[in-house]
Each structure stands twice: as C-alpha cells, then as structure tokens.
Amino acid sequence: MSDAENATAFSFWSDAFAQRLHHFDHISPRDRSSAATVREVIENEVDAIKKALLAVYTRRNALLPVHILPPEILARIFQFLTIMDQPGDITRVKTKRLVSLGWIASVTHVCRYWRQVALDIPRLWGRISLRLGSRWSDEMIARSKSAPLTIAQSLQSEIHGVDVTHILPSHLSHVGELWLTGSLGRVLPLLGVPAPLLETLALVSHHTSSDPAPLLILISQSHRLRCIVLEIFRSRGPLSQQDISYAWTLHISPSLLQSRTT
C-alpha cells in the first residue's frame, strides 16, 4: 500500500470516529458527570473498534497460504498432531503444576478458522487425555460425539488426572482402542460387557490376581476386535519362575481372528 493510500485509510477511519463522537465535543472536563458519561461512551467505541479489527484480521488470515487449505487437509494434519503432541506433559512453575494441552493448544489457540475446523472433527477429540482432569476428559468425550474413543493409561499407584475406572463403566461401549498397563485389579471387573466399537485391546500387567472371566466376555463379545495384546502375569509377590509359568501372552493378528470367526 502506498503512503497516499495509507493516509486515505487513516483519514477515513479518523473521520468515522470523529463523526461518532462529534456531539460530545462541547463537553468540558469540569462537568464531571457528563465527562464520566462520555468516557464510558468512548470506551464502548474503542471496544467496538477492537471487535471490528478482529473481523479484519479474520479476513486477512483467510488469504494466507495456510488458510487456503480445505478442512479435510487440516483434519489430516491435526490427526497427526493428536499422536505427535499429546496433552498431559507436566511442568512446574513455582508452586503451580501446569499440564500441557499439547495439540489442543497448537490447533485451537491459533485462530478462529483452525479452532472451528478442529471442533467440527469429532474423531480428533476421541483420544481422551485423562491427565488433563475430568473437565477436559468430559469435554473431549462430548466433542467426540459418536467417534470411537481411544483410552490409554498407566495404572500406577499415583494417578495424575482422571482414573480410568471412572470413565470405563459409562463409556466402554464407545471405546475403539483401550491401552492399559500396570495394576489391572480394579479394571478387570469392569470389562465384562460387550464393546461393539472396540478394535484394539492392549493390557499389560505384571501383578494381578483378578479373575480374568470379564476379560474373556469382552473379547468374545466385541466383534470388531482385530488387535489384542495381553501380557498378564498372575502373581501376588515378586516375580518368580513359577509366576512366569502362569503368565499368558497373547497377540492376535487380524488373520488369526478371521480364522477364529469363520
């Protein structure tokens, strides 16, 4: 834009502002009551200008190379980010524990268009980040709509965020991938129901004494299951040779599963 064009634009917007406020020109600062009213009016005008400016930024953004990508391409990019940049990393700043939002911040904090695209893709939200706490896990489940959920948690003694046992009872029917490691004692009893969307089940535990019957129900009644990884040692104390003989490790490939069902 040339200097002349710049000057014209400036003159246009200055005139518009002056015109909006010209009937307050005669107000004196000594007239305290009127001055206060005018100050408020001016504040409102400034807010309106800021809002209008944001709309101008949206138009400017729409012309950038990155914005000419259609939503279906952005969806592919965002999908990779959900795996590469998972939420939940914890950093400490003074006494505060900050949990990283990972891809959620990368995608939804940048601009309106990206946020809208992300909100319109339910499957992005299906990878539930339990470490962000219940507000976020509830929000992600709601945004995932009917897309299958992916739930992954390490069941250590100290769990940061939402305990998976609070999620599973009401959402197992909606889970597409379930990855759990650690002590499965509290989880196994919750699994004895069909999970019609479940495609991947991975359970790794080196010390569980729970009854595996619910697990067998889950496996036999979840007809979309095509990847099962189970490494479960039944043990009550430190691992011994005898414990290892009780261990069962099962990896089922899609072809094996197909032969089972035919």
Contact residues: other proteins, CB under 8 A: 51, 54-55, 57-58, 60-61, 64-70, 72-73, 76-81, 83-85, 90, 96-99, 101, 103-106, 108-112, 115, 119, 132-133, 135-136, 139, 160
Whichever of 129 and 208 has its CB closer to other proteins, that residue is 129
**Residue 110 to residues 25, 66, 120: CA-CA distances in angstroms?**
40, 12, 16
Nearest approach in angstroms of CB 180 to other proteins is 18
Q: Which is nearer to other proteins, 18 or 84 (CB)?
A: 84
For residues 150 and 127, the answer to whether their CB atoms sit within 8 Å is yes
DSSP class of 174: G
User: 67 vs 207, which CB is nearer to other proteins?
Assistant: 67
Query: Closest approach of Cβ 130 to other proteins, in Å?
Result: 12
Q: How many CA atoms lie within 13 A of 111 on its CB side?
A: 14
Choice between 179 and 233, CB closer to other proteins: 179
**Crossing angle (nearest 10°) for helices 32-61 and 112-119:** 70
Q: Which is nearer to other proteins, 61 or 173 (CB)?
A: 61
**C-alpha to C-alpha distance for 224 and 195, rounded to whole angstroms:** 9
Q: Please report how close the Cβ of residue 148 comes to other proteins at its closest, in angstroms.
A: 11
Q: Helices 134-143 and 164-171: crossing angle, nearest 10°?
A: 30
Spatial separation of the C-alpha atoms in residues 85 and 73, rounded to whole Å: 18
Q: How far is the CB of 231 from other proteins (least distance, A)?
A: 19
CB of 8 to other proteins, least distance (A): 22
Number of other residues whose CB lies within 10 A of the CB of residue 220: 11
